[in-house]
A = this chain, B = another copy of it.
Amino acid sequence: MARKSAKINVVPQAILETASNLFIKRGYEGTSMQDIAQELGISRSALYYYFKNKEEILASLTEGLTIAAQQLASQVVEKGKAPEEALRELVHQHAKLILYRPVQFRVVERAEGSLPQEQQKIAESARRILLQKFTEVIQRGIDDGRFRLVNAKMASFAIIGMCNWTAWWFKADGAKTAEEIAEMLADFSLHALERGEVKKGAKVGVDESLRMLEENLSQLKEVIDTQNRIRQ
């Protein structure tokens, strides 16, 4: 695992970033190695030193996102934290992976059909494992009675989609930082899944607390009434 992460870091991000911008602007097919070298202001041979061809650039983009996403998620789940904490970490991490490289993520989504079949399969499997890891944590939360009874796989798709779509709207120079957006998405996901009871630390006043108590009481009354009716 350490070797893998090191490899990802060694790959020159500048080439990947410039190539991604060109792929989005002119299309993957419409961009040549010559174009990439020119845009970077380096010689073609300098570029070839890092990447043999366009497919290698695309494969590296896929590795840095799709496969990295799966590895990061697997690491979180291995820690065996409580479901809330694990989910918060999963969302945070996955969102940030994309928020720091939105254009690269869009290239991977668009151009995956251009990858060699074998690498397409690897990416496909990485995406499946990512989904499994989210599903696993959410299902554990449901089983523990901490999350609502939802379809864990559908909820995972919803959360991953929310993170992925940031690639289409996030602006690094916008009003919110990547960190703030990741935090918001984690918070959003947890609230969507936590059971409908008073959330600890919620800021409420006496009036609202009393209103909640009243609602709780009338709900309890209803539950008891229903049970009495069933017994009769």
- Chain A residues in contact with chain B, CB under 8 A? 24-25, 27, 29-30, 109-110, 113, 148, 150-151, 154-155, 157-166, 168-169, 176, 181, 184-185, 187-189, 191-200, 202, 204-206, 208-210, 212-213, 215-217, 219-220, 223-224, 227
B113 and A110 form a contact (CB under 8 A) = no
Question: Given A184-B150, A191-B148, A191-B193 in contact, is the A220-B216 Cβ separation under 8 Å?
Answer: no
Bound complex: CA A168 to CA B213 (Å): 44
How far, in Å, is A80 (CB) from chain B's closest CB?
26
Bound complex: CA A154 to CA B186 (Å): 12
A213 and B220 form a contact (CB under 8 A) = yes
Scoring A169, A185, A215 by chain B CB atoms within 10 A of each residue's CB, the highest score goes to A169
Scoring A113, A158, A197, A220 by chain B CB atoms within 10 A of each residue's CB, the highest score goes to A158
How far, in Å, is A165 (CB) from chain B's closest CB?
3
Question: Given A191-B192, A198-B196 in contact, is the A217-B206 Cβ separation under 8 Å?
Answer: no
The 8 Å CB contact of A184, one of B24, B30, B151, B205, is B151
A181 and B206 form a contact (CB under 8 A) = no
How far, in Å, is A37 (CB) from chain B's closest CB?
22
28 contacts between A and B (CB under 8 A): A24-B113, A25-B113, A29-B30, A109-B168, A110-B110, A148-B191, A150-B184, A155-B188, A158-B185, A158-B188, A160-B165, A161-B162, A161-B163, A162-B165, A165-B165, A188-B192, A189-B192, A191-B191, A191-B192, A196-B196, A196-B197, A198-B219, A200-B215, A202-B219, A205-B223, A209-B219, A209-B223, A213-B220
B198 and A199 form a contact (CB under 8 A) = no
Chain B residues with CB under 8 A of A185: 158
Bound complex: CA A96 to CA B224 (Å): 39
Chain B residues with CB under 8 A of A220: 206, 209-210, 213
In the complex formed, the residue of B with least CB distance to A189 is: B192
In the complex formed, the residue of B with least CB distance to A145 is: B208
Chain B residues with CB under 8 A of A162: 158-159, 161-162, 165
How far, in Å, is A62 (CB) from chain B's closest CB?
15
Chain B residues with CB under 8 A of A216: 198, 209, 212-213, 216
